[in-house]
Amino acid sequence: MAEPQHVDDSSFNQVVIEAETPFLVDFWAPWCSPCRAIAPIVEELAGEYEGKIGFGKVNVDENPKSATEYGIRSIPTLLLFKDGKPMTQIVGLRSKADLKKHLDSTLN
């Protein structure tokens, strides 16, 4: 089963921006309860969309450059990139069904 990659400021462009498939980035922090609640959902989706959408996690405390560059003001924030550009921003704890709608719309 696929798991989200750990992405940092130095690898963000290579992993996310240059990805050949759409890529969902989970901006999170270990002290954030909603972040910990959404993590298993993101992991499940990474397995379900393996080969279609890439998944990554950015710890905002350890990687402030990426968080600042994309205007992350609250967490969890999920940014869905397509062709190297952020297409969808999802803020807060969401259901798996809601996240799937966003992912499916990116694939169509």
Q: Measuring CA to CA, how many Å separate 106 from each of 3, 6, 19, 33? A: 20, 22, 14, 28
Query: Which is the catalytic residue, given 15, 24, 35, 99?
Result: 35
Q: Are 32 and 78 in contact (CB under 8 A)?
A: no
Query: Which is the catalytic residue, given 32, 41, 53, 72?
Result: 32
Alpha carbons 91 and 76: distance in angstroms, whole number:
6
Residue 35: active-site member? yes
Residue 82: active-site member? no
Which residues are catalytic, by number? 32, 35
